[in-house]
Structure 1
C-alpha cells in the first residue's frame, strides 16, 4: 500500500499497471455496478456525523483505508420488490440509465439498501410506504442478514418474507465514480446519502472491517489531511462535499441537484513520471516517479491513457457520538 503525506491511498502496483495499459498489454476490465451509502446522523451542533468503516489491514485491496458500507450489485437485485418513493423510471433517469433500463436502476438502489443492512445493520425499509423498521437487532434479524451476506437469500425474498417495503425515498443520489481502467477489479459505483432511521443503530456487521465510527466530515477530512486516515479519492471527495450541510435533512434535500457525471481517472507518462489525475478533482492529481520501463511507454503512440467512458492500521479518528464497535 502507498499513500501521500496526506491520507490518499493508492496501490503500489499502479505504476506497472498504468505502463501495461499504455503499452497495450492490458485490456481494461468491464466495471461491475456497485452502490455505497453515506449514513448520516445529526449531532445537534457542528453538522451531521457520517458512518465510516476501516477496512482490515489484511484486505488485498485498500487495507487500512476508511470507506462507507457498500458493495456490488447482485443480479437478483432486479427482482420485483414492494417499492416506495421515486419510480424505477425516475431513478433510471437520475442515475444515468437509458430508456428500458429501469430494472438496472432498481438493482443499484436495492444494492445500496441491501449492502447497508449487510454491513451496518441499518435497513431503509418499513411495513408501509411511510414507516421504517425501528429495530433490526435480535437473532432472527441477524440470521437473515447472514443469509443475505452468504447469498443464500435474495433481497427480494427477504423483503417479501418480512412484508417490507423498500424506501427508495430515504436515499439521495450523491456522486458516481468509476475505478480506473488499469485496475483489474473495477466498479461503477453510485454514492448515496441517507439519514439513520430513528430507533436503529449501526453496528460493525462487515467481515471486511475492523472498526466503525461516527465522525463529522470535517474531522475525518482533517485526519486525512494530516495523513492519519487513509482514504481513496471518492471517499475523501464525498466527505468534503458534506461539510457544508448543517443536518442530514439538508444534505438529503441537496442530493437532487448533485452532478452524477461519472468520475474516471486519467493516467499518462510525462517527463519521467506518471501523472495520475481525476478530471474535476485537482486535489487528487498525483505525480509518481517512473522507472525506465515506464518512461519508455511515453514514446509509444498510446502512452496517454484517457478514459474510454464518461496499509497498516492508522490511529483512530476523533469520533463524534458513540463508536459502533
Structure 2
C-alpha cells in the first residue's frame, strides 16, 4: 500500500514511497534561455565554482575516488581505455531516459600529463530492518587542515601496478582488483568472494588540475565480519541508509562529491540490498564525462550523457535532463523529461 509522498530535499527532488520501491522524481524546471560554452578560462572558473560548492569534503575528483596513501608510488597509466560491457540508463525507472553510449576514444589521444589516474570505488550494501544501508568511511584530517574533520567516502583508491590486468591500468578488470585490495586495506574487509557489479564510470573533466578515471562497483556485504578502519587513512565508519545519507548531506553533517551524491540518489530508490544490486547490474552503464557550464541566467550545471544539452555543452537545450545543478554549497540531481 503506498504512502503519501514525502519530500527529502525540497529544493531538488521528492521521494514517493511505496512498500517496495522509492523513486526520486525530478522537480519541474522552468524554461531557460540558450548559452554558448565559453573559452577555457571560463570553463576553469566554472570548475572552481563546483569545487567550492563541494569544499565541505574534498575537491570533486579526489572525493569521488578517495585519496590514495601518500606513501604509495603512483601507477604509470596506460593509454588505452577499457571497453565497457554495458551502460547504465538509471535505476530510476519512472524517470529514465533512453541513452546509447557513444564509443569512447578520449583516453587514446590524451597527453601523458592530461590522462586521468585510474582508480576504483566500492559501494558496499547490507540489509537493515526497514531499509538497505551503505558503508561510508571517514578519512583522517588533512595536513593542511588538521583541525577539520575528514570527509566521508566509499572505500577505494588508485589502481596500483600489482592491480593491472593485461597491461591496461584503465580496464574494468584492473579496477576490480584495486577495489578488492583497497577495501581490505581501508576497511579491514575481505570481499574477494563478494559479487561486485559495475554501476558507473566517472572521468574528471579535462580542466581539472587533478584527474581521475574511476570505476564504481556495488556489492552486498555478507556475514558478520566487522568493519575495521585502518586508523591511518580511515579513522571511522558508518552504516547509513541512502535516505539518512542524503539527510545528513542536506544539513551539512556529511559532504558528498557529485559522483557520490548521484550514486546515493540512485540507491535511494531501493529498500533491499540484493534488489538494488540486481537492478543496477541489469541496466546500461554510463561513462560520466561531466561538462561544466552555465546557462544564460548564470546558473552552474554539470551535464551528463543523456542530457539534451550534453554534446553542445548547452544547459538550456530543450529536451531530456541528466545533470547536477550547483545550488549554494550543494547539488541537485535532475534526470528525466524536460
Give the TM-score, by structure 2 length: 0.54
**Counterparts of 1:268-279 in structure 2 under 5 Å?**
268=293, 275-279=300-304
- 1:258-311, Cα deviation, whole Å (9 max, x unpaired): 3322112223477695834132576632389xxxxxxxxxxxxxxxxxxxxxxx
Provide the residue aligned with 1:284 in structure 2.
Answer: 324
Q: Secondary structure at the match of 2:208?
A: coil
Provide the residue aligned with 1:2 in structure 2.
Answer: 52
The answer for unaligned runs of 5 or more in structure 2 is 1-50, 61-110, 308-320, 329-338
Give the C-alpha shift of residue 7 in structure 1: 6.7
Provide the residue aligned with 2:38 in structure 1.
Answer: none
The 1:51–1:271 alpha-carbon spacing in structure 2 relative to 1, beyond 3 Å, is same
CA–CA distance in structure 2, aligned partners of residues 239 and 109 of structure 1: 20
The structure carrying a bigger helix percent of its residues is 1
Give the C-alpha shift of residue 233 in structure 1: 0.4
Provide the residue aligned with 1:194 in structure 2.
Answer: 219
Match of 2:140 among 56, 69, 72: 56
Contact 1:175 1:258 in 2 (8 A): no
Match of 2:241 among 216, 222, 241: 216
The 1:275–1:205 alpha-carbon spacing in structure 2 relative to 1, beyond 3 Å, is same
Contact 1:28 1:184 in 2 (8 A): no
Give the TM-score, by structure 1 length: 0.56
How many residues align? The count is 211
Provide the residue aligned with 1:257 in structure 2.
Answer: 282
CA RMSD of aligned residues (A): 3.6
Provide the residue aligned with 2:118 in structure 1.
Answer: 33
- 1:7-65, Cα deviation, whole Å (9 max, x unpaired): 78657xxxxxxxxxxxxxx99721121111111111121x2111101233326699733
Contact 2:165 2:171 in 1 (8 A): no
The answer for unaligned runs of 5 or more in structure 1 is 12-25, 81-99, 126-166, 289-325
Q: Secondary structure at the match of 2:201?
A: strand
The 1:247–1:178 alpha-carbon spacing in structure 2 relative to 1, beyond 3 Å, is same
CA–CA distance in structure 1, aligned partners of residues 142 and 168 of structure 2: 38
Give the C-alpha shift of residue 229 in structure 1: 1.5
CA–CA distance in structure 2, aligned partners of residues 54 and 27 of structure 1: 32
Contact 1:176 1:189 in 2 (8 A): yes
For the pair shown, which has the larger CA radius of gyration, 1 or 2? 1
**Counterparts of 1:125-136 in structure 2 under 5 Å?**
125=192
Give the C-alpha shift of residue 193 in structure 1: 0.9
Provide the residue aligned with 1:70 in structure 2.
Answer: 156
**Counterparts of 1:102-181 in structure 2 under 5 Å?**
104-125=171-192, 167=193, 170-181=195-206
